[in-house]
Each structure stands twice: as C-alpha cells, then as structure tokens.
C-alpha cells in the first residue's frame, strides 16, 4: 500500500509525497520548508525522514523550495541532465544543492532507494519537463503535470499505471472569456503550455480503453485558480469515463494551494 499526499497542486506551488512505509520521497518542492514540514506533520510525517526528491522541471512553482529543503535536510535530488543544468543557475537552487544533485536519463529505469523510477519527456515550455513512471510496493504510478499536449509516449506510460496523476489545467471557455492577455492565453493552449479539461478527458478515454494495468485511481492535478474549478474538471473527465463504462475507476481532483487528504493507493 502506498501513501500519497498532495501538499500543493497548481500555479501557487507543487509538491507530492509518496511512501511505501520503508522509503518516502517528494516529487517537486514548490512549497516552503516550514509549510511543507507543517503539512506533513499534520499527517504524522516528518520532512526530515524523506529519502530523496524528484524534479519534473525548473519552473518556480515546482522548485522554489528545492534548494532550501535539500540543503537543510541533506536530501539527494534527482533530475535529468538538462534540468540539472538549469538548477545550477536558478535563483532558487544556485549554490544550494552541491553534491546532492544527481542526474537520471530519459527513458531509463533508475533504482533509487529500491524505488524504480523512469523519467519520460513531456511537452511544456521549461528547459525540459518530464513525467515519472514509479514502481514501488507492487504498484505502478504515472505522474504527468504541466503538460501542453498528450503524446504517444505519455499515453504509453499512463496505460501501464495502476494510479494516474494527470494535469487538467483549464476550462477552455473560462480561459477564452477570462482576463488573461492574449499572449498568455496563447501560451497556455499552445501545445507546450497546459492541458485543458477536454484534452485530459479525451486522453483518459484512450488510456482506459487501452490500459495494460488495473488503473483503479485517477487524480486530476494542477487545476488553474483562474480558469478552472474542481467541478468542471471532474465533470468533464467523469463524463468521458462514464461514456466508456469506466465508472469503477475512482476519479478525484487534487486541491489547489493546500494539502489533500492522505490517500492510500
């Protein structure tokens, strides 16, 4: 059984916790160390007990606390070579990671503290962005956040998952009618920005129909504060799953800017 906790999901910060009772780790560290520690301690978890941190990309909402957490608690950080290079120059991590930074290769399975981790490339306008396929305690988890478009490679890893964490960032109507500038709207829907509710829903239909694992839980993540609501995201993906008879799959939206409940997946 895997413990999963979203400490924050969205443009205000992103940080996810996983544990099998023996090994625990974070994916991204976009939440300050004091806040991160407080949110974990409320669930009976100590931040100093995590074993390592995986990084998806170098945007501030994913790494703004990475240097502080890694240096304070002496935790190893794993990222692709391209992302690691960007971390050397980021204001949030420059001079703070030292020998704690380790590189992993796209598409190659890595054994990190007995957790099998495979990074795969995702379309997003950072230096490089990856999703992760994680195998621990007999469970397979695919995490894809900040995803401009669904690709065959993302779908490949999603179809192998028992648990899928997938971006459902914006409602197309809300974005179009909202106050964002034209340039920002185009950036979000460009194919290297974020995944809309309808794009996520369509992807889930294909993933479910061609799944290679149980796929018992789906979490929608990185919902926009300004261009989405949990009700819209869940309604869109929920209807798509109902259309193909996938009601047995548990669908939930991770809260924006605050911690979720502690899930057992």
Three-state DSSP string of 183-196: HHHHHHCCCCCCCE
- Whether pTM > 0.85 for this model: the answer is yes
Percent of the chain having pLDDT more than 70? 100
Q: Residue 50's pLDDT is what? A: 98
pLDDT at 257: 86
Residue 109: helix, strand or coil by DSSP?
A: strand
Q: Which two tokens stand for residue 119?
A: 């990074």
Please state the φ and ψ torsions of residue 174, each to the nearest 5 degrees: -60, -40
User: What's the CA gap between 240 and 166, in Å, rounded?
Assistant: 15
Q: What is the pLDDT along the chain (265 residues), one digit of tens a residue?
A: 999 999 999 999 999 999 999 999 999 999 999 999 999 999 999 999 999 999 999 999 999 999 999 999 999 999 999 999 999 999 999 999 989 999 999 999 999 999 999 999 999 999 999 999 999 999 999 999 999 999 999 999 999 999 999 999 999 999 999 999 999 999 999 999 999 999 999 999 999 999 999 999 999 999 999 999 999 999 999 999 999 999 899 999 999 989 999 999 9
What value does the CA radius of gyration of the chain take, rounded to a whole number of Å? 17
Which CATH code is given to the segment(s) 3-264?
3.60.15.10
User: Mean pLDDT of all residues in the chain?
Assistant: 97
Beta strands in the chain (DSSP E): 3-8, 15-19, 24-27, 52-54, 77-80, 101-104, 109-112, 115-122, 129-136, 139-144, 163-167, 217-221, 250-253, 263-264
Domain ranges of the chain: 3-264
Strands (E), 107-150: 109-112, 115-122, 129-136, 139-144
pLDDT for the residue 251: 98
Q: Among positive and negative, which fits the CA dihedral 203, 207, 208, 214?
A: negative
Q: Are strands 15-19 and 109-112 parallel, antiparallel or unpaired?
A: unpaired
The string of pLDDT tens digits covering residues 61-114 is 999 999 999 999 999 999 999 999 999 999 999 999 989 999 999 999 999 999
Q: Is the dihedral of CA 264, 12, 107, 114 positive or negative?
A: negative
Residue with tokens 């931040």: 47
What is d(CA 241, CA 248) in angstroms, rounded to the nearest whole number?
9
Quick: pLDDT tens for 143-152: 999 999 999 9
pLDDT at position 4 is 98
């Amino acid at each position: 059984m895997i413990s999963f906790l979203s400490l924050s999901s969205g443009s205000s910060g992103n940080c996810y916790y996983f544990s099998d009772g023996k090994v625990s780790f974070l994916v991204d560290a976009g939440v300050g160390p004091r806040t991160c520690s407080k949110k974990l301690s409320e669930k009976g978890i100590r931040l100093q007990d995590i074993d390592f941190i995986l990084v998806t990309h170098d945007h501030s909402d994913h790494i703004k606390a990475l240097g502080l957490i890694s240096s304070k608690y002496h935790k190893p950080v794993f990222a692709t070579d391209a992302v690691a290079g960007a971390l050397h120059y980021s204001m949030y991590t420059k001079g703070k990671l030292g020998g704690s930074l380790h590189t992993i290769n796209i598409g190659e399975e890595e054994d990190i503290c007995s957790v099998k981790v495979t990074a795969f490339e995702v379309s997003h306008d950072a230096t490089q962005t990856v999703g992760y396929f994680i195998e621990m305690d007999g469970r397979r988890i695919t995490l894809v956040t900040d995803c401009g478009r669904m690709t065959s490679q993302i779908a490949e890893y999603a179809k192998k998952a028992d648990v899928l964490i997938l971006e459902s960032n914006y409602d197309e109507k809300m974005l179009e009618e909202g106050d964002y500038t034209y340039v920002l709207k185009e950036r979000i829907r460009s194919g290297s920005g974020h995944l809309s509710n309808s794009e996520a829903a369509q992807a889930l239909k294909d993933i479910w129909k061609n799944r290679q694992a149980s796929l018992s839980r789906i979490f929608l993540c990185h919902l926009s504060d300004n261009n989405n609501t949990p009700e819209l995201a869940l309604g869109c993906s929920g209807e798509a799953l109902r259309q193909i008879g996938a009601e047995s799959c548990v669908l939930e939206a991770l809260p924006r800017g605050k911690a979720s409940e502690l899930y057992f997946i």
